[in-house]
């Protein structure tokens, strides 16, 4: 930990664990800004289904990478790494600390560590995999990924066809599993990094997820999804909370079943998020059941960075 370098404070954790509120409280405490590492909150067209910060929350602290892109624009983790590092370079000119918050482990890793050089996309392989997805469904691709790259299969959101196709594309082009490219440790950053993650009992988390989905529905998730039907073939919308309701609108399932599937798929996604973050030995876990959550987070930061 270099005392002369600025510091990036990472607030990670599964969906519905309270990351947004914790990040805002930290930003207010340190009089700094919040940078999102949530791979779905970038997109302007998706708000309710991504649990985007409310207008009041956005006003409570400056936020970046919220509503920054359109679902019509391709935006990869590599694009995010490049743009976010450029942003951090500017933010650290005026802020000694910056808060990075999100549940997308791949995007957090991109900023804190980077990757080994990922192969460039092979258009022919990608087109063939997309054709197979359309013809045979996502389950076929899920099973293939499980076979060729079981490590990444345990981590990735398996309901996101874009991620699955990218991993299979890399494997088919190189013969090496996608997970083998996620091991870079030599990409040093010109800032200190403190990683914290929010923890709670599994049953509490699942109850929060179920209640959040119910609230999303009350707040107008279905009309939001209906407004995006024209764009449902875009990768950004191949995600939990949207695909299930597209199936309802297509007459494949009832509305009640679609909502229950959203809850189930979100719980599965949270489990995978936890698996990802548990593998990171640099993360400090903070118990959210303690009423003094913010104080505990600050205490953990001060142990590492006494000047904070």
Write out pLDDT tens, residues 181-204. Answer: 877 555 689 999 999 999 999 999
User: Domain check: are 163 and 195 in the same one?
Assistant: no
User: Domain check: are 82 and 204 in the same one?
Assistant: yes
Distance CA 225, CA 94 (A): 39
Is 114 labelled as part of a ligand binding site?
no
User: Domain check: are 158 and 209 in the same one?
Assistant: no
Is 13 labelled as part of a ligand binding site?
yes
Distance CA 216, CA 234 (A): 22
For residue 43, the 8-state DSSP code is: B
The reply to whether 297 falls in a domain is: yes
Q: What is the pLDDT of residue 108?
A: 96
> Which residue in 281, 279, 282, 286 sits closest to 300, CA to CA?
286
User: Domain check: are 53 and 142 in the same one?
Assistant: no
Q: State yes or no: pLDDT of 308 exceeds 60.
A: no
Is 14 labelled as part of a ligand binding site?
yes
Is 17 labelled as part of a ligand binding site?
yes
User: Domain check: are 67 and 209 in the same one?
Assistant: yes
Q: What is the pTM of this model?
A: 0.87
Cross-strand bridge partners of residue 12: 197
Expressed as residue numbers, the domain containing 296 is: 7-115+184-219+274-304
Whether residue 58 contacts residue 66, with contact meaning beta carbons closer than 8 Å, is answered with yes
* The residue to which tokens 């039907």 are assigned: 229
Across 68-72, 138-142, 231-235, the highest mean pLDDT is recorded for: 68-72
User: Domain check: are 211 and 285 in the same one?
Assistant: yes
Q: What is the pLDDT of residue 184?
A: 58
Q: What is the mean pLDDT of residues 155-184?
A: 85
The reply to whether 232 falls in a domain is: no
For the chain, what percent of residues have pLDDT higher than 90? 72
User: Domain check: are 200 and 212 in the same one?
Assistant: yes
The reply to whether 67 falls in a domain is: yes
What CATH number should be reported for the domain holding residue 170?
Answer: 1.10.20.140
Starting at the earlier edge strand, list the strands of the sheet with 7-12: 63-64, 34-36, 97-101, 7-12, 192-199, 284-287
What CATH number should be reported for the domain holding residue 35?
Answer: 3.40.50.300
For residue 65, the 8-state DSSP code is: S
**Number of structural domains found in the chain:** 2
User: Domain check: are 190 and 292 in the same one?
Assistant: yes
The reply to whether 156 falls in a domain is: yes
- Domain end position, chosen among 181, 203, 230: 181
The reply to whether 165 falls in a domain is: yes
User: Domain check: are 205 and 93 in the same one?
Assistant: yes
Average pLDDT, the chain: 92
Q: What is the mean pLDDT of residues 137-160?
A: 89
Is 20 labelled as part of a ligand binding site?
yes
The reply to whether 145 falls in a domain is: yes
Is 16 labelled as part of a ligand binding site?
yes
Q: What is the pLDDT of residue 78?
A: 87
The reply to whether 73 falls in a domain is: yes
Distances 77 to 71, 184, 280 between C-alpha atoms, Å: 14, 15, 19
* The residue to which tokens 């874009």 are assigned: 162
Distance of CA 39 to the CA centre of its chain: 4
> Which residue in 198, 217, 154, 195 sits closest to 16, CA to CA?
198
Q: State yes or no: pLDDT of 54 exceeds 80.
A: yes
Confidence of residue 8 (pLDDT cuts 50, 70, 90): very high
Write the pLDDT tens digit of every residue in 271-299: 999 999 999 999 999 988 877 888 889 98
Distance CA 194, CA 301 (A): 7
Is 19 labelled as part of a ligand binding site?
yes
Confidence of residue 99 (pLDDT cuts 50, 70, 90): very high
Q: What is the pLDDT of residue 161?
A: 85
User: Domain check: are 169 and 193 in the same one?
Assistant: no
User: Domain check: are 38 and 157 in the same one?
Assistant: no
User: Domain check: are 55 and 76 in the same one?
Assistant: yes
Q: What is the pLDDT of residue 120?
A: 77
Q: State yes or no: pLDDT of 44 exceeds 80.
A: yes
Is 49 labelled as part of a ligand binding site?
no
Confidence of residue 127 (pLDDT cuts 50, 70, 90): confident
């Amino acid at each position: 930990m270099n005392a002369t370098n600025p510091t990036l404070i990472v607030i990670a954790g599964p969906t519905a664990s309270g990351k947004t509120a914790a990040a805002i409280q930290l930003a207010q405490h340190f009089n700094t800004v919040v940078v999102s590492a949530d791979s779905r909150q970038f997109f302007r067209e998706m708000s309710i289904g991504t649990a985007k910060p409310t207008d009041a929350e956005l006003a409570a602290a400056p936020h970046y990478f919220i509503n920054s892109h359109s679902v019509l624009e391709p935006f990869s983790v590599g694009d995010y790494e490049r743009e976010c590092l450029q942003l951090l370079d500017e933010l650290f000119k005026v802020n000694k600390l910056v808060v990075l918050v999100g549940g997308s482990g791949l995007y957090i890793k991109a900023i804190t560590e980077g990757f080994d050089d990922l192969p460039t996309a092979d258009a022919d392989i990608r087109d063939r995999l997309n054709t197979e997805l359309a013809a045979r469904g996502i389950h076929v691709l899920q099973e293939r990924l499980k076979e060729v790259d079981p490590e990444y299969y345990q981590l990735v959101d398996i309901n996101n066809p874009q991620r699955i196709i990218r991993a299979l594309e890399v494997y088919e082009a190189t013969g090496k599993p996608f997970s083998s490219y996620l091991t870079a440790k030599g990409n040093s950053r010109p800032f200190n990094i403190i990683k914290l993650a929010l923890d709670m009992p599994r049953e509490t988390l699942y109850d929060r997820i179920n209640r959040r989905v119910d609230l999303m529905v009350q707040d107008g998730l279905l009309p939001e999804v209906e407004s995006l039907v024209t764009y449902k073939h875009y990768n950004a919308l191949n995600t939990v909370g949207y695909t299930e309701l597209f199936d309802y609108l297509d007459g494949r399932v009832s509305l009640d079943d679609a909502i229950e599937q959203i809850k189930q798929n979100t719980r599965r996604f949270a489990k995978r998020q936890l698996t990802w973050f548990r593998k990171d030995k640099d993360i400090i876990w903070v118990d959210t059941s303690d009423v003094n959550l913010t104080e505990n987070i600050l205490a953990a930061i001060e142990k590492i960075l006494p000047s904070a």
